[in-house]
């Protein structure tokens, strides 16, 4: 019986068209292939690309976006969207700046991520409590959060020129920026949470089939609230890193950042329909966006072509995701 089954499986595998197998490989590893080809091309076109300084600068500049993308991956795998991450980033950054100037720099650094956590939980409560689609709920809450950021600052900038505050965004350990180390630790924690815990399995279950998850006893509302809370925490952490780096709190900070994070997650191959995805894929998506931006800057190419290239790549990524969903 076992031998017959084995022969059947082997026969079925051999009849899969080569084109379909190639498409499956591209869907699984396409993001890594594109990154490798892009790096080879940029190395050939510019001597300044493949240098230690430039590569570390790419990682450092990408750290805040990558932190948000890691947490946002859980939201999208769980079948949701978060359009308020950029606004949460703004509220957390100006709150951290205000606290640093008026109370204590260390308190500002600590408070920023937890302010983001609270705002993320508010999003989750609105979505689950009123049964509102996450797209609409977070679109509305982003407007409210932007208003809160303006109220905190009075519409003005908040300069924060303190060494006790700037170390998070500007400090280094050896040649590596502290912001990059924070990103790596956060990414590792999110990977462990998603892939090695019961909570992670429940996130996949909710995104894959929410009704089945409910019937299985999963408290889907709590899972959704937790994913939005984590994204809020990540946006707050990213906001503190950013304001620490530039030493200036701005109410419009993070404007459009949520779209970049969503683009990175989708580029990485996480399904926009929920139920499938991985943290490492989202990180690869962030790196791809960063490489495109860095490459076009080094080559001094018209910014229009950068946006065009990024848009075309996103369209291809969405098409591949839709193809997987249909099958």
The DSSP secondary-structure symbol of 159 reads E
Tell me the pLDDT of the chain averaged across its residues: 90
pLDDT interval class at 321 (50, 70, 90): low
Position 14 pLDDT exceeds 70: no
Only one residue has tokens 């191959």, namely: 269
Residue 85's region, left for phi above 0, alpha for psi from -120 to 50, else beta, is alpha
* Average pLDDT, integer, range 10-15: 49
The DSSP secondary-structure symbol of 156 reads S
HSE value, Cβ hemisphere, 13 Å, CA-based, for 101: 17
Per-residue pLDDT at 40: 94
Task: For residue 234, count CB atoms less than 10 angstroms from its CB and return exposed for 0-12, middle for 13-18, buried for 19 or more.
Answer: buried
The pTM for the full model equals 0.91
Q: Which residues contact 79 (CB under 8 A, 6 or more apart)?
A: 206, 207, 210, 273, 274, 275
Structure tokens at 49: 């690309």
Query: Across 2-16, 68-82, 300-314, which has the greatest mean pLDDT?
Result: 68-82
pLDDT in tens, 223-275: 999 999 999 999 999 999 999 999 999 999 999 899 999 999 988 889 888 99
- Mapped onto helix, strand or coil, the DSSP state of residue 130 is coil
Structure tokens at 171: 């400090």
Report d(CA 193, CA 293) in Å as an integer: 31
Give exposure, 108-143, as e/b (b: 16+ Cβ within 10 Å): bbebbbebbbebbbbbbbbbbeeeeebeebbbebbe
């Amino acid at each position: 019986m076992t031998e017959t089954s084995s022969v059947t499986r082997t026969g079925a595998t051999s009849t899969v068209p080569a084109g379909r197998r190639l498409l499956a490989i591209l869907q699984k590893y396409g993001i890594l292939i594109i990154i490798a080809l892009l790096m080879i091309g940029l190395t050939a076109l510019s001597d300044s690309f493949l240098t230690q300084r430039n590569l570390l600068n790419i990682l450092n500049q990408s750290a805040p976006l990558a932190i948000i993308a890691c947490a946002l991956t859980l939201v999208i795998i769980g079948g949701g969207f978060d359009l308020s991450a950029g606004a949460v980033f703004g509220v957390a950054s100006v709150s951290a700046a205000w606290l640093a100037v008026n109370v204590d720099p260390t308190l500002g650094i600590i408070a920023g991520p937890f302010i983001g956590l609270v705002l993320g939980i508010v999003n989750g409560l609105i979505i689950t409590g009123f049964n509102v689609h996450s797209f609409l709920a977070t679109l509305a809450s982003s407007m409210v959060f932007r208003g809160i950021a303006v109220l905190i600052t009075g519409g003005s900038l908040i300069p924060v020129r303190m060494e006790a505050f700037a170390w998070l965004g500007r400090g280094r350990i050896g040649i590596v920026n502290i912001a990059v180390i924070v990103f790596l630790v956060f990414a590792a924690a999110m990977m462990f949470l998603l892939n090695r815990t019961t909570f992670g399995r429940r996130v996949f279950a909710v995104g894959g089939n929410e009704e089945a998850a409910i019937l299985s006893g999963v408290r889907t509302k709590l899972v959704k609230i937790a994913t939005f809370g984590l994204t809020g925490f990540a946006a707050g952490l990213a906001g503190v890193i950013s304001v620490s780096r530039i030493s200036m709190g701005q109410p419009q900070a993070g404007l459009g950042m949520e779209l970049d994070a969503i683009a990175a997650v989708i580029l990485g191959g996480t399904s926009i329909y929920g139920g499938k995805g991985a943290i490492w894929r989202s990180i690869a998506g962030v790196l791809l966006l960063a490489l495109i931006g860095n490459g076009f800057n080094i080559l001094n190419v018209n910014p229009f072509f950068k946006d065009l290239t990024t848009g075309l790549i996103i369209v291809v990524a969405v098409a591949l995701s839709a193809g997987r969903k249909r099958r």
